[in-house]
Amino acid sequence: MLKTLLERLHQGGRTVPFPYAPPTLPDRLRGPPTVDASRCVDGCTACVDACPTGALGAGALTLDLGRCLLCPLCAEACPTGALSQTHEYRLATRSREALLQGDQASQLATALEAKSLRVLGRALKLRQVSAGGCNACEADVNVLNTVVFDLSRFGIQFVASPRHADGLLITGPVSDNMRLALQKTWEALPEPRIVIAVGACAISGGPYLGHDEVHGGAAAVVPVDLFVPGCPPHPITILDGLLRLLGKIEDQHTEPFRRPAP
Task: Kindly report the CATH number assigned to the domain that includes residue 59.
Answer: 3.30.70.20
Count of domains for the chain: 2
Give residue 239's pLDDT.
97
Q: Is residue 68 part of a domain?
A: yes
Q: Is residue 231 part of a domain?
A: yes
Give residue 57's pLDDT.
81
Bridge-based pairing state of the strands 56-57 and 62-64: antiparallel
Beta carbons of 191 and 152 less than 8 angstroms apart: no
123 plus 227 within the same structural domain: yes
234 plus 132 within the same structural domain: yes
190 plus 128 within the same structural domain: yes
Task: Check pLDDT > 60 for residue 103.
Answer: no
126 plus 211 within the same structural domain: yes
Q: What percent of the chain has pLDDT over 70?
A: 92
72 plus 193 within the same structural domain: no
Task: Check pLDDT > 60 for residue 253.
Answer: no
Give residue 61's pLDDT.
76
Beta carbons of 201 and 69 less than 8 angstroms apart: no
In which domain, by residue range, is 62 found? 33-88
149 plus 69 within the same structural domain: no
Q: For residues 200 and 68, give the distance between their C-alpha atoms in angstroms, rounded to a whole number.
A: 7
What are residue 198's DSSP bridge partners?
228
Q: Is 49 left (phi over 0), alpha (psi -120 to 50) or beta?
A: alpha
Q: For residues 149 and 127, give the distance between their C-alpha atoms in angstroms, rounded to a whole number.
A: 18
What are residue 195's DSSP bridge partners?
168
Beta carbons of 147 and 107 less than 8 angstroms apart: no
Give residue 255's pLDDT.
38
Give residue 39's pLDDT.
84
237 plus 151 within the same structural domain: yes
Least reliable range by pLDDT among 44-48, 92-96, 120-124, 195-199: 120-124
Q: Is residue 253 part of a domain?
A: no
Q: How confident is the model at residue 81 (pLDDT cuts 50, 70, 90)?
A: confident
Q: For residues 217 and 198, give the distance between their C-alpha atoms in angstroms, rounded to a whole number.
A: 10
Q: Is residue 28 part of a domain?
A: no
Phi/psi of residue 33, each to 5°?
-70, 150
Task: Check pLDDT > 60 for residue 98.
Answer: yes
Query: For 51-69, what is each residue's pLDDT tens digit?
Result: 999 998 866 678 899 999 9
Of 204, 211, 220, 183, the closest CA to residue 93 belongs to 204
- For residue 161, give the CATH number of its domain: 3.40.50.12280
Q: Is residue 62 part of a domain?
A: yes
Q: How confident is the model at residue 241 (pLDDT cuts 50, 70, 90)?
A: very high
61 plus 152 within the same structural domain: no
Phi/psi of residue 76, each to 5°?
-70, -30
Q: Is residue 73 part of a domain?
A: yes
Span 85-89, mean pLDDT? 90
Q: For residues 128 and 149, give the distance between their C-alpha atoms in angstroms, rounded to a whole number.
A: 17
Least reliable range by pLDDT among 11-15, 100-104, 146-150: 100-104
143 plus 62 within the same structural domain: no
Span 117-137, mean pLDDT? 92
Q: Is residue 106 part of a domain?
A: no
Of 195, 205, 210, the closest CA to residue 231 belongs to 205
Q: Is residue 19 part of a domain?
A: no
Q: How confident is the model at residue 105 (pLDDT cuts 50, 70, 90)?
A: low
Q: For residues 174 and 7, give the distance between their C-alpha atoms in angstroms, rounded to a whole number.
A: 45
136 plus 238 within the same structural domain: yes
177 plus 236 within the same structural domain: yes
Which one-letter amino acid corresponds to residue 116?
A: S
Task: Check pLDDT > 60 for residue 258.
Answer: no
Q: How confident is the model at residue 117 (pLDDT cuts 50, 70, 90)?
A: confident
The last residue of a domain, from among 48, 71, 88? 88
Give residue 261's pLDDT.
41
Least reliable range by pLDDT among 6-10, 159-163, 186-190, 193-197: 6-10
156 plus 210 within the same structural domain: yes
Helix boundaries (H) for 146-234: 176-187, 200-204
pTM of the model: 0.90
